[in-house]
Amino acid sequence: MSETIFTKIINKEIPADVVYEDELCLAFRDINPQAPVHILIIPKKAMPQLNDAGEADEGLLGHLMLAANKVAAREGVADGFRLVLNNGAAAGQEVFHMHFHLLAGRSFTWPPG
């Protein structure tokens, strides 16, 4: 896949406000926050979108969700947060390196816009 801005963040070529990192993933604050807490959780292994994941990625996908729990706990929002994944341009995806948005710190409506 072609390199995205997130690859540069993983490789520390451009700065980011990193809040969590382990061997498989990285979490950092969104540059354009949509809530008081807005953190992106990304795999270090690049895949453009969730739809590109295969059976071999089952463990990685679970790892990302457990990382979201850790990030939420660190941010003090474990009791209420929204985890969003935009898969594809039609869903609003702009950066084609699969990522979760962890949003918290305000109330949310349903259905989402």
| Nearer residue to ligand DGP within complex by CB, 56 or 84 | 84
Q: Encode the chain in three state secondary structure.
A: CCCCHHHHHHCCCCCCCEEEECCCEEEEECCCCCCCEEEEEEECCCCCCHHHCCHHHHHHHHHHHHHHHHHHHHHCCCCCCEEECCCCHHHCCCCCCCCEEEEECCCCCCCCC
Piece in contact with ligand DGP (CB under 6 A), picked from 44-52, 58-66, 67-75, 85-93: 85-93
Catalytic (active site) residue 99? yes
In the complex, residue closest to ligand DGP by CB: 31
Q: Out of 26, 28, 37, 103, name the contact with ligand DGP by CB under 6 A.
A: 28
87 makes contact with ligand DGP (CB under 6 A): no
109 binds ligand DGP (CB under 6 A): no
Residues that are catalytic = 99
